[in-house]
Amino acid sequence: MKKWLLAIVFGSVLVLGACGGGDDSADKGTDDNADSGTVDSSGAEDIYKSNCSSCHGQDLGGGAGPDLTKVGSDHSADEIVDIIHNGTGSMPAQKQVSDEDAKTLADWLSEKK
């Protein structure tokens, strides 16, 4: 009987320990509130992967499109939004990207310096 009770207690400790209980959102350092001055990096990365990575590479390193690892040193967020919506050079306009997604993506890319 003692072994059974010990197994129940030990199992409960493992389950409760695995649950954590911490607030992971505080650790991410991201916030989609534009007024706070932070960038929603996770959301921007998802938008990038869905719309841009096939040409600009998974790691922003380029491919069919140019390297974007330091695009923020050449373009502001507003300029990047304009490029996304209207295209430039051989890049076509990305009409499927919403204004909100373009802004999120541009804010994130403009930090790449």
Instruction: For residue 91, give both structure tokens.
Output: 């890049």
What is the rounded average pLDDT of the residues 48-77? Answer: 92
Half-sphere exposure of 85 (CA within 13 A, CB side): 13
Domain boundaries, the chain: 40-113
What is the rounded average pLDDT of the residues 34-60? Answer: 85
CA 113, CA 15: separation in Å to the nearest integer? Answer: 44
Report residue 86's pLDDT band, with 50, 70 and 90 as the boundaries: very high
CA 103, CA 90: separation in Å to the nearest integer? Answer: 21
CATH of span 40-113? 1.10.760.10
Please tell me the predicted confidence (pLDDT) of residue 19.
62
pTM above 0.95, yes or no: no
Per the prediction, the chain carries an average pLDDT of 82
Instruction: For residue 53, give both structure tokens.
Output: 């990575």
Q: Considering only 1-10, 12-21, 62-71, 96-105, which range has the smallest mean pLDDT?
A: 12-21
